[in-house]
Amino acid sequence: MLAREVRGHVYPNPPVGCVIVKDGDVVAEAATHPGGRPHAERKALDMAGPLAQGATLYVTLEPCCHWGMTPPCSDAIIDAGVARVVCSIQDPDPRVNGGGFAALKAAGIDVNIGMCRDQAKAVLSGFLHRIQFGAPEVIMSDEGLGMIPNGADAMLASGKNEVVLTTRSSTIGGELRSRDQLLYWMAELGLTTVAVPKQDAFWNQEETLRTTSERDYGSSTKLQLTNER
Ligand SMILES: [Zn+2]
């Protein structure tokens, strides 16, 4: 739930929720900060302070173990003295991909993987899609032009020769190119889930696209790429 609330607001990072429980009491809960940093684990650990010692930490996605814009969360969890980590899914990002779990286990932390896996996959679908295919997930939206539906990072409107990409912080104009070029361009921007209007002629004319109903987008429908890389 924590992760779902920030979905669409944290790209290029994944929407993650983190809860810390000590002696049966929730001592901290946090989600990835809007904009993607700080990560949920770090926010929750800051909130818990010394109460994290010996506690159980629940988290949507495997804690990071690499130095990105911030130090690794796995180090912060170890330093805080957390006793047990319960996590929904492993992070397929090649910079993590099991390394976070390995670091925690090496430090003597009890690690459980797989709780609420399906829910986590649904919330993280855009992020997982970009890691797997190198392109953001595209969903079809009933919302008006330029309106970004819940859970999407941006809305892409396509005209005759140009496109307009609306994110929550800016509007970017571009040239209308092939579908693959547009997907690559949006992936480069770090986007994980992009909405296009349901009536959009450009995306609808593509024969390689087929529409499937999707669970996590309310009135929106997900476009599936049939010949993904
Ligand atoms: Zn992290």
Model pLDDT for residues 150-205, shown as the tens digit of each residue: 999 999 998 888 999 999 999 999 888 888 889 999 999 999 999 998 888 788 76
Q: Please tell me whether the peptide bond between 71 and the residue prior to it is cis, using omega within 30 degrees of 0.
A: no
pLDDT of residue 205: 65
**Residue 53 C-alpha to ligand 1 middle, in angstroms?**
19
Averaged pLDDT in 10-residue chunks for the chain of 229 residues: 91 96 97 95 98 98 92 97 98 96 98 96 94 90 82 91 92 88 92 90 60 36 40
What pTM was estimated for this model as a whole? 0.85
d(CA 92, CA 89): 9
**Residue 196 C-alpha to ligand 1 middle, in angstroms?**
30
d(CA 27, CA 20): 6
**Residue 64 C-alpha to ligand 1 middle, in angstroms?**
4
d(CA 149, CA 196): 10
Alpha carbon distances (Å) from 7 to 27, 109, 113, 119, 203: 23, 29, 22, 13, 23
**Residue 149 C-alpha to ligand 1 middle, in angstroms?**
26
| 175 is a catalytic site residue | no
Asked if 57 and 86 count as a contact pair (C-beta separation under 8 A), the reply is yes
Residue 189, both tokens: 């921007």
Residue type for 204, please? N
pLDDT of residue 207: 44
d(CA 181, CA 48): 45
> Which of these is catalytic: 41, 62, 137, 214?
41
